[in-house]
Chains A and B, each alone.
Chain A
Amino acid sequence: MDSLAFKDDISGSVAAANSLQLIAFSIGEQTYGVEITTVREIRAWNGATPLPNTREFVRGVINLRGTIVPIFDLRARFGEGVTSPTKNHVVVVMSVGEKWVGILVDAVSDILTVAKDDIHNVPEGNSIDTELLNGIVTHENRMVGLIDLHAVVSGAKVDA
């Protein structure tokens, strides 16, 4: 998958308004964000049909008004173990290119407006972080990781 396209996308809209709106959500103590324009809807967790022969971070598929949408467990994707979801957990449905995917998170916390100058590069080091994040931004003394959706949804097959 081409993650560059997504990065260009962000910088493009930043250049237009010089600021960026994010939907922020939490996994445990950590806060992550995605650009608000990619979010299609937010739903409560209501179970998913598990998919065989996929990696553990693929929670399965749900019926979104007649189309089948895969759900990714973001906690598991970051290698922090599989989420045990409750009714209070939230699925953020987003569009990645032509496809729609859902991301299972603990809660949606906020809508943030950040200046493009405040976005920092991800420091080299942790390979999962550099792979899955586009950048880091500080908001009210919290660190918010910008999710690279293309990277999150890639490598879902067991053999991939």
Chain B
Amino acid sequence: MFGNPEGFVTKSMSDLDDFKATYFDECSELLLELEEQFAAIEEGERSSDRLNAVFRAIHSIKGGGGAFGFQGLVGFAHAYETLLDHVRDGRVELSEHVTALCIRANDIVADFVAAAREGRALAPGFGAEEKLQFDALTSNDPDAAGEPMDEFDIDFVPVMVTIAGAEDDAAAAEPLTFAGLDDSFEAPPLLADAGQWTIRFTPHSELYARANDPLLLLRELGTLGEIQVRAVLDEIPALADFEPFGVYCSWEITLSSATASEAAIAEVFEFVEGNCDLEISRGAAVAEEELDEAIEAMPSFAELLEAPVAVEAEVLSFTELAEAMKPALKAAPPLMPPPLLKQAAQVEEFEGDNDRRSGVEDRRNGVQSIRVDLDKIDRVVNMVGELVITQSMLTQQMDETLRARYQELVRGLEVLAQTTRGLQDSVMAIRAQPVKTVFSRMPRLVRELASKTGKKIRLETIGENTEIDKTIIEQLSDPLTHMIRNSADHGIETPERRAAAGKAEGGVIRLSAEQAGGNILIAVEDDGGGINRERVLQVARDRGVVGPEQMLSDEQIDQLIFAPGFSTASEVSDISGRGVGMDVVLSNIKKIGGSVHVKSWTGKGTRMTLRLPLTLAVLDVMLVKVAGSPYVIPLSSIVETIQCARANFSRMPTGGQVLQVRGEYVQVVDLASRFEMTTEVARDNRFVVLCEAEGGVKVALIVDDIIGQQQVVIKSLEENFQSIEGIAGGTILGDGNVALIVDVQGLKSANSPHKSAA
């Protein structure tokens, strides 16, 4: 618990695990990105941007997977990547079939990643079928079949290597790069001089500082044609002078390609422009021995720099440096005059281009983000919660006399209150995420549902950038899935029925999110037939959810779909109709302090709205007193409060009490007796708090006094103790005392008259 000295040891040992954890975090993001991109591609947005994003995501997953030795994942991702590459340059058409295959492949990649994360093995043939399909699609290209995967044999011996990677086959087509696919750059056709290019690539330390990898660049260059790479190691100093972060290595590449242009080559290095010296010259490199001699004869780059730098000892800007270098460059032996001059020319270009470059820099800084452990954020959130409570406690302590006497203190407290609120908002914003992360999973669901049910369904999403607490987002996926399933299965009619009703054949499910005050509203709306109330009531009566004599309003009937075990589907379908679903929606949403409302128009459609709190950390509650102890009841479950003197109680034959409210009989729970405490408050001075539990079932709680509304931070009882029936947790009030949170659902189900129905 306190400063464990072993902590350090375990940490350094688990470095690899840390990297793995980061890799898996990134994978989750990349998989999400895949979903998003394919959702858009399905919509018909087949821009090369999207394909590139998909390609990059798969490539990154594969790369990391290779580093950690996840063979299955790498093998599959490689085949998938090959297919994507073919799609990207148009050799394979992105037909519906291919799109579907890709979406399935995304799932398989996700499964591979999940398996790797959990360290379990998948069945040996997992993904093999899809892999075969990839191969079938790409096999009309002779290069692609059985292509070697030697990309991961990263060899650290700096010798001549030929980079023959997965992208080799791309060379046959037009020159492609990761970066500039959609730049629609057309290489001017080269005529007779089907070419040899010599590229001299000297990275600066900034290149490495920005996490670029020369290997990737060289590999990319390999896509342009046959390349021969020679590492120039002459700059490497004696070990004593060796700086660990010094840059001593440069490369000389000979590229043979009939189609490559200088611009295409330069484009490969686009991302590292300014962070390296690049010379591109036409013609074969000087024969090797000659080259060695020449390099020896040539003053080293460092030497070139030395003289002028020494003169102008102080800080030199890049342009000044370039200016200073010019004579030195010119004075250099004329080994390769054109490229050297060219470099000088490039330097001059930079001078004019300074503004643009700094713009690029700014943009890079703008998107900076850090990865923070959620636990750490939660700790801050908790502490800010405490701060809010302490602040409100201080404010409460200020009575009128104090206020009059210490005006400065009052002002200080007001500023404190403002700052605390600002701090709270900012901290919550850290946890907030756009609902897009859940919404993006839904298009695929709808497509699957449409194909299973034989209906035509279109999904519209609105407000997907609305932000909500991360924990809530995680809890949203299941309820939304159920709701959309329900809409697709029960809401939207078959095309024939729709046509008969004079509607368009294709149904629409609209998924929307918006912020309304301190809540987020998420609605699932369909333009189907609406809830069949007769049938719902019939089923409810059959199952005993509703008594035979009970008369229900339309609204109450609509709410019945949330009753446990309730389903109107006459046949249990593959999709919904197992009677689990809508009650799960309700309980999940209640768990995160939200509520569900359903509104239906016969023949026109149904709208289900989730009202969710912006954050889980703070709960809006009503503070009440029972037998002298403070309790809080979540505001989201309270329907109304009634004075006992005005309430209409009736006695049941069994001795229990019920409350009659607007024609409805509601179970009564006296919290004092339920909690085995005695109260001295006279019956008529007590209050009824009418609450709504799961499935729209109401329960009337009797409390001694209602103190007011406030926001509280939820604290766990289980952390140091254990769960207690009827209590959902605790919270700390402004005066520092602990109040218990009443678990309305728990109280109701403990002695529910409808227990058999559940």
Which of A's residues lie within 8 Å of B, judged by CB? 47-54, 60-63, 66-70, 95, 99-101, 156-157
CB–CB B732/A70 < 8 A: no
Convert B632-646 into 0s and 1s, putting 1 for each residue whose CB lies closer than 8 angstroms to a CB of A.
Answer: 000000000000000
CB–CB B717/A61 < 8 A: yes
Chain A, Cβ-Cβ closest to B721:
A70
- Contacting A at CB under 8 A, from B656-685, are 674-677
Answer whether residue B629 sits at the interface, using C-beta atoms and an 8 A cutoff.
yes
The one of A47, A51, A68, A101 in contact with B715, judged by C-beta atoms closer than 8 angstroms, is A68
Inter-chain CA distance A91–B465, complex, in Å, is 51
Could you say which residues of chain A place their CB within 8 Å of the CB of B674? 52
Answer whether residue B736 sits at the interface, using C-beta atoms and an 8 A cutoff.
yes
CB–CB B630/A51 < 8 A: no
Answer whether residue B716 sits at the interface, using C-beta atoms and an 8 A cutoff.
yes
Could you say which residues of chain B place their CB within 8 Å of the CB of A70? 717, 720-721
Chain B, Cβ-Cβ closest to A49:
B738
The one of A51, A66, A69, A101 in contact with B724, judged by C-beta atoms closer than 8 angstroms, is A51
Inter-chain CA distance A61–B733, complex, in Å, is 13
Inter-chain CA distance A99–B722, complex, in Å, is 10
Q: What distance in Å separates the Cβ of B682 from its nearest Cβ neighbour in chain A? A: 22
CB–CB A67/B720 < 8 A: yes
Could you say which residues of chain A place their CB within 8 Å of the CB of B382? 66
Given A52-B727, A61-B717, A66-B386; A156-B738 close (CB under 8 Å): no
- Contacting A at CB under 8 A, from B683-740, are 715-717, 719-722, 724-727, 730, 732, 736-740
Interface residues on B, range: 20 to 34
Closest 8 CB pairs of A and B: A52-B675, A70-B721, A49-B738, A99-B720, A68-B730, A63-B732, A61-B738, A68-B715
Max count, chain A CB within 10 A of own CB: residue among B676, B716, B730, B732: B732
Could you say which residues of chain A place their CB within 8 Å of the CB of B740? 49, 51-52, 61
Given A67-B715, A68-B721, A157-B724; A61-B675 close (CB under 8 Å): no
22 contacts between A and B (CB under 8 A): A47-B737, A49-B629, A49-B730, A52-B674, A52-B724, A52-B726, A52-B727, A53-B675, A61-B717, A61-B721, A61-B730, A61-B738, A63-B737, A63-B738, A66-B383, A67-B719, A68-B721, A70-B720, A99-B720, A100-B720, A101-B721, A156-B722
Max count, chain A CB within 10 A of own CB: residue among B630, B716, B738, B739: B738
The one of A54, A68, A95, A99 in contact with B738, judged by C-beta atoms closer than 8 angstroms, is A68
CB–CB A63/B720 < 8 A: no
Chain B, Cβ-Cβ closest to A64:
B720
Inter-chain CA distance A52–B629, complex, in Å, is 10
CB–CB B719/A99 < 8 A: yes
The one of A47, A49, A69, A157 in contact with B720, judged by C-beta atoms closer than 8 angstroms, is A69
CB–CB A68/B717 < 8 A: yes
With A52-B727, A63-B738 given, name 12 new contacts (CB 8 A).
A50-B629, A51-B721, A53-B727, A60-B738, A61-B738, A61-B740, A62-B738, A66-B386, A68-B717, A70-B717, A70-B720, A99-B719
Max count, chain A CB within 10 A of own CB: residue among B715, B720, B724, B730: B720
Inter-chain CA distance A53–B730, complex, in Å, is 15
CB–CB A101/B720 < 8 A: yes
Convert B619-637 into 0s and 1s, putting 1 for each residue whose CB lies closer than 8 angstroms to a CB of A.
Answer: 0000000000110000000
Inter-chain CA distance A49–B736, complex, in Å, is 11
Could you say which residues of chain A place their CB within 8 Å of the CB of B726? 52-53
Could you say which residues of chain A place their CB within 8 Å of the CB of B722? 156-157
Q: What distance in Å separates the Cβ of B670 from its nearest Cβ neighbour in chain A? A: 12
CB–CB A53/B724 < 8 A: yes
- Contacting A at CB under 8 A, from B1-50, are 1
Could you say which residues of chain A place their CB within 8 Å of the CB of B724? 51-54, 157
Could you say which residues of chain B place their CB within 8 Å of the CB of A99? 719-721
Q: What distance in Å separates the Cβ of A154 from its nearest Cβ neighbour in chain B? A: 10
CB–CB B675/A49 < 8 A: no
Q: What distance in Å separates the Cβ of A76 from its nearest Cβ neighbour in chain B? A: 15
Could you say which residues of chain A place their CB within 8 Å of the CB of B386? 66
Inter-chain CA distance A156–B739, complex, in Å, is 19
Could you say which residues of chain B place their CB within 8 Å of the CB of A53? 675-676, 724-727
CB–CB A63/B721 < 8 A: no
Q: What distance in Å separates the Cβ of B155 from its nearest Cβ neighbour in chain A? A: 49
Inter-chain CA distance A63–B393, complex, in Å, is 14
- Contacting A at CB under 8 A, from B47-93, are none
Inter-chain CA distance A62–B737, complex, in Å, is 7
Could you say which residues of chain B place their CB within 8 Å of the CB of A68? 715-717, 719-721, 730, 732, 738
- Contacting A at CB under 8 A, from B405-423, are none
Inter-chain CA distance A3–B193, complex, in Å, is 86
Inter-chain CA distance A62–B732, complex, in Å, is 9
Inter-chain CA distance A21–B737, complex, in Å, is 33
Given A66-B382, A67-B715; A52-B720 close (CB under 8 Å): no
Convert B727-758 into 0s and 1s, putting 1 for each residue whose CB lies closer than 8 angstroms to a CB of A.
Answer: 10010100011111000000000000000000
Could you say which residues of chain A place their CB within 8 Å of the CB of B717? 61, 68, 70
Could you say which residues of chain B place their CB within 8 Å of the CB of A48? 738
Convert B102-143 into 0s and 1s, putting 1 for each residue whose CB lies closer than 8 angstroms to a CB of A.
Answer: 000000000000000000000000000000000000000000
Q: What distance in Å separates the Cβ of B691 from its nearest Cβ neighbour in chain A? A: 17
Inter-chain CA distance A54–B723, complex, in Å, is 10
CB–CB A52/B677 < 8 A: yes
Q: What distance in Å separates the Cβ of A50 from its nearest Cβ neighbour in chain B? A: 6
Q: What distance in Å separates the Cβ of A63 from its nearest Cβ neighbour in chain B? A: 5
Inter-chain CA distance A82–B730, complex, in Å, is 24
Inter-chain CA distance A52–B676, complex, in Å, is 7
Inter-chain CA distance A95–B725, complex, in Å, is 24
Chain B, Cβ-Cβ closest to A58:
B721
CB–CB B675/A66 < 8 A: no
Chain A, Cβ-Cβ closest to B719:
A67
Inter-chain CA distance A69–B740, complex, in Å, is 13
Could you say which residues of chain A place their CB within 8 Å of the CB of B383? 66
Inter-chain CA distance A62–B677, complex, in Å, is 19
Q: What distance in Å separates the Cβ of A103 from its nearest Cβ neighbour in chain B? A: 13
Q: What distance in Å separates the Cβ of B588 from its nearest Cβ neighbour in chain A? A: 25
Q: What distance in Å separates the Cβ of A141 from its nearest Cβ neighbour in chain B? A: 37
CB–CB B721/A156 < 8 A: yes
CB–CB B739/A49 < 8 A: yes
Inter-chain CA distance A52–B720, complex, in Å, is 16
- Contacting A at CB under 8 A, from B604-618, are none
Q: What distance in Å separates the Cβ of B289 from its nearest Cβ neighbour in chain A? A: 71
- Contacting A at CB under 8 A, from B577-622, are none
Inter-chain CA distance A100–B676, complex, in Å, is 26
CB–CB B739/A50 < 8 A: no
Could you say which residues of chain A place their CB within 8 Å of the CB of B721? 51, 61, 68, 70, 99, 101, 156
Q: What distance in Å separates the Cβ of A93 from its nearest Cβ neighbour in chain B? A: 10
Inter-chain CA distance A69–B322, complex, in Å, is 69
Convert B296-340 into 0s and 1s, putting 1 for each residue whose CB lies closer than 8 angstroms to a CB of A.
Answer: 000000000000000000000000000000000000000000000
Max count, chain B CB within 10 A of own CB: residue among A49, A60, A95: A49
Chain A, Cβ-Cβ closest to B750:
A53
Could you say which residues of chain B place their CB within 8 Å of the CB of A66? 382-383, 386, 715, 732
